With several copies, the nearest count.
Chain A
Amino acid sequence: MKLFEITAQPLSLDEVARRVVRPDCGAVATFAGVVRGTTATQEGVRGTDFLNYEAYTEMAEALLARIAAEIQGRWPKVVAVSIVHRVGRLEIGESSVVIAVAAPHRGDGCFEACQYAIERLKAIVPIWKEENWADGQVWVEGPRQPELVSHLGVPGAL
């Protein structure tokens, strides 16, 4: 059972939680990122039809494992971390990502680690989403990450 996975299958909190629970664990914190149908903006409520997610699978799974290693360094009492991200077409209300963190006690960092995992995922893991409406679609680009070297295509112009 993989702890870090890019998959086209629907995600389940229970299934991902089962990947991390061990007999010495009394606490599991999870996070699900869900496809919103409506988003409140300054210009009013915006609707979404569905999303398409694409991943650089090999690199994404390696970076998910790295995030878990970072968590083990920061919260050493955490027993296990699993991060599963879905790709392909996702409808409103479906989960795009599920994170589960298990620890012996609720004060052992499972909440903090779970929050850390989603922040890091959104910053460094090569996954992209394309938003679709009735009349069009656009690839969503996240903010630039100062910690990562970005390129402008012209040698030397980093």
Chain B
Amino acid sequence: MQIRVRLFATLRQQAGWAQQLLDVPAGTTLDGALAAIDSAYPSLAIGRRTFYAAVNQEYAQGEQLLREGDEVALFPPVSGGGAVAE
């Protein structure tokens, strides 16, 4: 099945892309997809950094089962709001 992978901020910049379609086996969990992303895009180095993952715009746990067409987003700790170092 196919999922959509989206990256933001540092992750997007390191990878050099913001959005990719990725083929994963049916029944893949979020953890499975993260492993697939790690081997498909080693430059992301997601094994060596802390990040958050969302499935269909909801923060998600590793064991969550994915479905065809799901949107998986990876991003660093958020820093919106006010000034720098607020």
A binds B: yes
A interface residue numbers (CB < 8 A to B): 26-27, 33-36, 39, 41, 48, 51, 53-56, 58-60, 62, 85, 96-97, 104-106, 118, 121-131, 139-145, 148-156, 158
B15: min CB distance to chain A, Å: 13
| Known contacts A56-B54, A139-B10; A155/B80 CB under 8 A | no
B20 adjacent to chain A (CB < 8 Å): no
Q: Is B84 touching A51 in the complex (CB atoms < 8 A)? A: yes
For chain B, which range describes its interface: under 10, 10 to 19, 20 to 34, or 35 or more residues? 35 or more
CB-based closest 9 A-B pairs: A127-B80, A26-B83, A33-B82, A153-B46, A155-B31, A59-B57, A128-B9, A36-B83, A153-B47
B interface residue numbers (CB < 8 A to A): 6, 8-10, 12-13, 29, 31-32, 34-35, 37-38, 44-54, 57-62, 73-86
Q: Is B50 touching A126 in the complex (CB atoms < 8 A)? A: no
Q: Is A149 touching B59 in the complex (CB atoms < 8 A)? A: yes
| Best-buried of A128, A130, A148 by chain B (most CB within 10 Å) | A128
A39 to B84, CA, bound (A): 8
A35 to B32, CA, bound (A): 40
Q: Is A26 touching B82 in the complex (CB atoms < 8 A)? A: yes
Q: Is A142 touching B52 in the complex (CB atoms < 8 A)? A: no
Contact sample, A vs B, 11 pairs, CB 8 Å cutoff: A33-B82, A56-B8, A127-B78, A128-B75, A142-B79, A149-B52, A150-B50, A150-B52, A152-B48, A153-B37, A153-B38
